[in-house]
Structure 1
Amino acid sequence: MTHPGTHQHHHAGHGAVHGGGASRRTAAQATLHCLTGCAVGEILGMVLGTALGLHNGATVVLSVLLAFAFGYALTMRGVLKAGLDVRAAMTVALAAGPVSILVVELIDDTVMVTVPGAMDAGLGDLLFRIALAGSLALAFTLIVPVSRWMIGRGRGHAVVHAPHQH
């Protein structure tokens, strides 16, 4: 039996990996972890790029760079808390994140660039906010199957948990 707040409870909440695949719940939770870092960086990049009047291409590049930085930082935070040293935590973060972050960024930035006027809208403009929120929701929906596939093969979010499995 697992108890709230215990390490075993944490893993029980992620669902199980069966037959080379992961549960939808596991994949959704892994995607939320990834998307949180991506979203922070993406939103910050879009806000900064828009506020600074950067060209759309520069805004997208800034958003992608910040999404990777925040995605890796949040992953490293978790594995550092699990007791790994900085070098090992960086190795785990680099193994766990690139595919998920890249897919999220491709989806998110494609939506932002293709929604007419979204990149040129001001920060207070409803179009900008709706397009950004919609792009992140679409990215979440489309990345869950990718996360599920990766976890089932011991990659992605599964790599984050490997250092502190019993």
Structure 2
Amino acid sequence: MNHQHHAHPAPHESHRQHTPADRSWRTAALATLHCLVGCAVGEVLGLVVGTALGLHTGATVALSIALAFVFGYALTMRGVRRAGLGLGPALKVALAADTVSIAVMELIDNSAMLAVPGAMDAGLSDLLFWTSLAGALVLAFLVTVPVNRRLIALGRGHAVVHAHH
């Protein structure tokens, strides 16, 4: 029996053309994920250090926010420095690209952590601390994606970074 294989068109859904709106949501999600990585490193480090040192909740939150901004900016600066920008211009790009995104992310994830009873008082070996933190970061991502989509549409936020790649 001779079976000839003919190319058949794939189902319509698998070859759907991506619209500009699809691409802008994807771009916003990737920009937010990039921002989340830097924020999460700083956030986790701040919460871990603050909790380990037994700092008051306010001091721990302040430390985690400060480190989230530092690591968020540093991650963006690393990329644009590789593209050839000097330190000063790279810092300006990072500030323009990430400030709103990080601020929104920090507002949401710290509010979520504070809203979970006992999360900020839980120890580093406590599942409540880590599940609350993970949930807070997921929530921050979900809230920040539409913010970043709007910024990119306006030529701001991570749109500034893409001009240097």
TM-score band w.r.t. shorter chain: 0.7 to 0.9
Identical counterparts, % of pairs: 67
TM-score (norm: length of structure 2): 0.86
Between the aligned partners of 2:19 and 2:99, the Cα distance in structure 1 is 21
1:17 Cα offset (Å): 9.3
Equivalent AA in structure 1 for residue 131 of structure 2: I
Cross-structure match for 1:86: 87
After TM superposition, where is structure 1 displaced by more than 2 Å over at least 4 residues in a row?
A: 16-19
Structure 1, gaps ≥5 residues long:
1-15
CA contact (8 A) 1:22 1:152 kept: no
Between the aligned partners of 2:58 and 2:154, the Cα distance in structure 1 is 35
- Aligned pairs for 1:110-149 (under 5 A) are 110-149=111-150
When residues 22 and 152 of structure 1 are mapped into structure 2, their CA distance, relative to the original with a 3 A threshold, is farther
Cross-structure match for 1:27: 28
CA contact (8 A) 1:39 1:67 kept: yes
Partner of 1:123: helix, strand, or coil? Answer: coil
Cross-structure match for 1:63: 64
CA contact (8 A) 1:27 1:151 kept: yes
Partner of 1:84: helix, strand, or coil? Answer: coil
When residues 91 and 17 of structure 1 are mapped into structure 2, their CA distance, relative to the original with a 3 A threshold, is farther
Cross-structure match for 1:99: 100
1:163 Cα offset (Å): 2.4
Equivalent AA in structure 1 for residue 145 of structure 2: V
RMSD: 1.6
1:18 Cα offset (Å): 4.3
Between the aligned partners of 2:91 and 2:55, the Cα distance in structure 1 is 31
Equivalent AA in structure 1 for residue 92 of structure 2: T
CA contact (8 A) 1:17 1:152 kept: no
Q: Which of the pair has more CA radius of gyration?
A: 2
TM-score (norm: length of structure 1): 0.85
Between the aligned partners of 1:27 and 1:161, the Cα distance in structure 2 is 12
